[in-house]
Structure 1
C-alpha cells in the first residue's frame, strides 16, 4: 500500500512564498500487511523452528532475518522462534548439567550461555541475539514474505533472576520451609530443572501478569501467536482464562508442547505435538516396531482426537536433536522415508534449524554452536515436499484435513501404504521400511504420477511392486 504525502511550504511573507520552490509529491512505502491467521493458511502450512543462537555463526536476529526469503522456497508459513528473552545468570546451566558458576576457569565459564527456557524478563529480548529493533526487523521481513511469527513462551517457570522472584515471591511454589522450589514431579521429587523456579498458578495475580506479558507481544510488537512450553504442566483452566483474551487481542496461532486432546478443545490451542507419531516413526525406522505400527497410530489418532484437531509432525526438534540424537542416529537409512511421512500423513510438518542443511551433529544446548549452511540432500527433498504440501489438497492438514485410508498390502509388516484424498486430489505414499528389497501387492489402481521422478505410471489391481530397502514413493493422481 502506498501513502501519498503532499508537502506544502508556508512562508512568513508573500515574497518569501514567491521565492521558495514548491516541494514535489513524495511517495512513501508502508509495511506490507499480512492477512490474519486463518484456517485456510493452516491447511497448507509448514512450521519452522528457529534456534537463533545456533542458526548462524553470529547467532543473531539479523543473521537469521537475511535467510527468511530462502525459507519461503521450502513452503514455510509459520516461524517459531525459540525463546528470545534474556536468560538468568543465577543458577545458569552449563554443558554437562552443572551450574556455570561452579566452573573455575573464567574463559570456560563465559562460554556457558544457559538455557533459553530460564527467562529473566518476558518483555525484553536476549542481548545475545541483538536489540528489540533487530527483532522488529525480523518480524517485518517474515510478514513481508507472508510468514507468521510465533514466540516460544515459557509459562511453567522463570529463571531465578526474574523480577517476580524479588517483587512477587507469592507467584512461586514453596516447599515446607517456605522456600521457592524448582519444578517438582507429582511425588515431590525434582524434575531436574534446577535452573528455573516453579510458578504457582493458584495465584490469580500471577495469571493476570502472565496474560498481560503475552498480550504485550501481540498488541505492541505484532507477533502472531505462541508455542507454549510444557503446556500440559500448566493448569487447563489457566489456558481457558488466557487464550480467549489473547484471541480478543488479535487472531493468533497457538501451539501446545503437549499431546493432551483437551488442550485442543473449545478454541484453545490450534495444534499439539504428535508425540506418539514421533515415537512411532523412531520405532519403525530403528526396527523396534514394524510397518503395522503406522496403521495402529492412525487408528489411535482417530480415536483420541477430533476431526478438526491439528498435530505437529516432526522427525527432529531442539530437544530431540540435543538430547536424543540426530535424525541419522535415530532413523538411520529410513531418515528420508520418515521425513516424507511427516509431510504426507495428517498434520503440519516441522522443520528444525539445520534439518534443511543435513545437520548431522547434536547441537550444544547451553553454549554456542552452529548449523551447516550447505544445501545437499535434504534441501531439494524438503523443497519438493513443501511444494506438494502447499499445492496438493490431498495434503491439507488443518481443521478441514484431507482424509486418510490405509491401503492393504501383501507385506503389512514391511510396507507402509496409505492414500490421502480431498476434492479432486489424491496422493499415495508407499514405503519399504525394511533394509531388504520387498516385492508386494497393494490394492491400488489407476493412472498416477511418481512425484519423485515425474514419470507417469499405470497401476493395476494385484500388480506386483518392488521397493528397495528403505525406499519410498509418492504418487499423485493425473
Structure 2
C-alpha cells in the first residue's frame, strides 16, 4: 500500500535538550546544574541500554538474496562494529493472501500474530538471531501492527465482532487506500487482551526487547499504557510509536481524532521526529534556510519535557519507497543531513542500505534485494553511530545535557552539545561555497576530528572551515580518554 502518500509517519516534536541552552562557560560556572524532573504524567523511564543507542531498521525481505533471518544474521558483526544499538525488524509475521498487493504482499498485512513468516525462516531462526544480537550487546525490537489485520487472518472468522464494519455490516480498511487490510475495533476488551498477550508472547518466546508500533495513534493510548505495564513484568522493553502527536494524519478529517494522544507519557520511549524529517528535506532543497531549525527546536522545548525522545532519520521503508531515496530528496546535502539526524538531540535511525549509498527505491510488495556495492558509507555511519554510542554529550534522554546553537553563515548550521567535560561540535554547510564558522571562545580546546580521525586544535576565537555541502564533527574527550 502507498503508506507514505496516505499516512503521516508519526512522531512529533521532541524537546531538543529541553534544558535551556547554556555555553560551556556558564556550564562550568554552575556548581551543580539542576536537571528538571519529568513532570507527571510523563512517568516512563527508559531502559538503561537506550542511553547511547541508535536504531537500525532491517528490511529482511530485501536485505539478502535469501531474505531470511539466517542470511541477515551474517551481517550482525558488521552492524555491531558500525555502532548499532537496537535492531528494528520490519514485521516478521505471515502475510495475508486475500487482496494481497504485489506478488509477496505488504509486511503490514498480518495473517497470524503468533507465527513467523516462513519466507523468512522459523521461530527458532528468529530466536537464534536475537541470541546472536544479544551476545553483541545489541537489542532487537519487532514491528507490531495492532491497528489492522489481513482479510484472511483467522480472527476475522473466529471473532467477527473484533472488527470495524460499515453501516451495511461490511468489513472496512482503516484507510481507503489500504485495501489489503481490515480495521480492528479496540472498543472490544477481549481484543485488547488478545493483542497484549500476543505481544507478550514474542517477549517471552523470542526474547525480543520491545516493539515499533505501526500507526500507534490509531489505537487507544490506554491500550498501549496497559500493554507496556504488562511487558515490563517480563523484562525492560523499548517502545517506538509511529505517530505525530501534534498533527492529524492527512487521511483523517479535521477534528476526527485528538492528536494529543499522550503516547510518550507512559507507553512509548520515542515517536518519530517527522516534523524534523520534513524540515531537513525542505532545508536541503533550499526551500527554507538552515536557521528554520531554530524554530523547530524552540517548539520542541515548549511541547515536551526533558527526557522524551524522538527518532531522527533521513530514510525509512516508507520514505525510500514512496518519497524517494535521500539522494532524490536531499541531493548534494544527503550526507550533511544524515550528520544532523545523528547528532541533533533525539535517537537516530539508519535504514537498510543507507550504508551502501542506496540510490534506488526498494519495491514494497515484491522481491528487490539491496545492492551493497562494498558498503561505501560504512565508515561514515560508523563514525556517527560510534560517536553517539560513546559520547555523554549525545546521550539519549539526558535532561542535564546542553545544546547551544552557534552563530554561523546563512548557508550553514552549527551547534555544540555538552555534558560535563564531554563536548561535541557540529557544523554543516548546505551551500556551494566554502564557509567558515567562527566559534565562541568558550568552545576552544583540543578536539578530535571525527571524520578525519585526527587531532584538531581550536584556539579562542578560531574559525572552523566547512567545505561546500560538507560537514565537520569535533569531539572534545575528557582527559585520559582514548
Bucket of the pairwise TM-score, normalised by the shorter protein: 0.7 to 0.9
CA distance in 1, matches of 2:108, 2:453: 45
* Structure 2 unmatched ranges of 5 or more: 1-44, 246-259, 478-482
- Among 180, 199, 203, the residue aligned to 2:184: 199
Q: Is the 8 A contact 1:217 1:223 kept in 2?
A: yes
Q: Which residue of 2 aligns with 1:351?
A: 350
Kindly report which structure 2 residues correspond to 1:322-341, keeping only aligned pairs within 5 A, or say none.
322-341=321-340
- Deviation per residue, 1:367-426 (Å, 9 max, x gap): 0011122334310011111221111111112354622111123x2x31101110012101
CA distance in 1, matches of 2:323, 2:338: 17
* Structure 1 unmatched ranges of 5 or more: 1-36, 95-111, 185-189
Q: Secondary structure at the residue paired with 1:405? A: strand
CA distance in 2, matches of 1:401, 1:44: 15
Q: Which residue of 2 aligns with 1:84?
A: 92
Answering whether residue 446 of structure 2 is matched by residue 427 of structure 1, we say no
Q: Which residue of 1 aligns with 2:201?
A: 216
- Among 116, 119, 136, the residue aligned to 1:128: 119
Q: Is the 8 A contact 1:416 1:430 kept in 2?
A: yes
CA distance in 2, matches of 1:328, 1:351: 15
CA distance in 1, matches of 2:450, 2:58: 29
TM-score, normalised with respect to structure 2? 0.83
CA distance in 1, matches of 2:214, 2:400: 26
- Deviation per residue, 1:80-107 (Å, 9 max, x gap): 100000000000012xxxxxxxxxxxxx
Q: Which residue of 1 aligns with 2:219?
A: 234
CA distance in 2, matches of 1:229, 1:145: 27
- Among 149, 152, 155, the residue aligned to 1:158: 149
Q: CA deviation at 1:307?
A: 0.5
- Among 71, 75, 81, the residue aligned to 1:67: 75
Q: Is the 8 A contact 2:46 2:269 kept in 1?
A: no
Q: Secondary structure at the residue paired with 1:416? A: strand
CA distance in 2, matches of 1:44, 1:204: 37
RMSD: 1.8
CA distance in 1, matches of 2:344, 2:191: 40
Q: Which residue of 2 aligns with 1:24?
A: none
Kindly report which structure 2 residues correspond to 1:19-418, keeping only aligned pairs within 5 A, or say none.
39-94=47-102, 112-184=103-175, 190=176, 192-260=177-245, 262-400=261-399, 402-409=401-408, 411=409, 413-418=410-415
Which range moved further: 165-174 or 373-382? 373-382
Q: Is the 8 A contact 1:39 1:399 kept in 2?
A: no
- Deviation per residue, 1:325-373 (Å, 9 max, x gap): 0111111111111111111111111111111111110000000011122
Q: Which residue of 2 aligns with 1:6?
A: none
Q: Secondary structure at the residue paired with 2:350? A: strand
- Could you say if the C-alpha distance between residues 469 and 194 of structure 1 is closer, same or farther in structure 2, counting changes exceeding 3 Å? same
Q: Secondary structure at the residue paired with 1:351? A: strand
Aligned length: 417
TM-score, normalised with respect to structure 1? 0.84
Q: Is the 8 A contact 1:358 1:372 kept in 2?
A: no
Q: Secondary structure at the residue paired with 2:133? A: helix
CA distance in 2, matches of 1:304, 1:337: 27
CA radius of gyration, larger in: 1
More relative contact order, 1 or 2 (CA 8 Å, 6+ apart): 2
CA distance in 1, matches of 2:449, 2:79: 25
Runs of 4+ in 1 over 6 A off after TM superposition: none
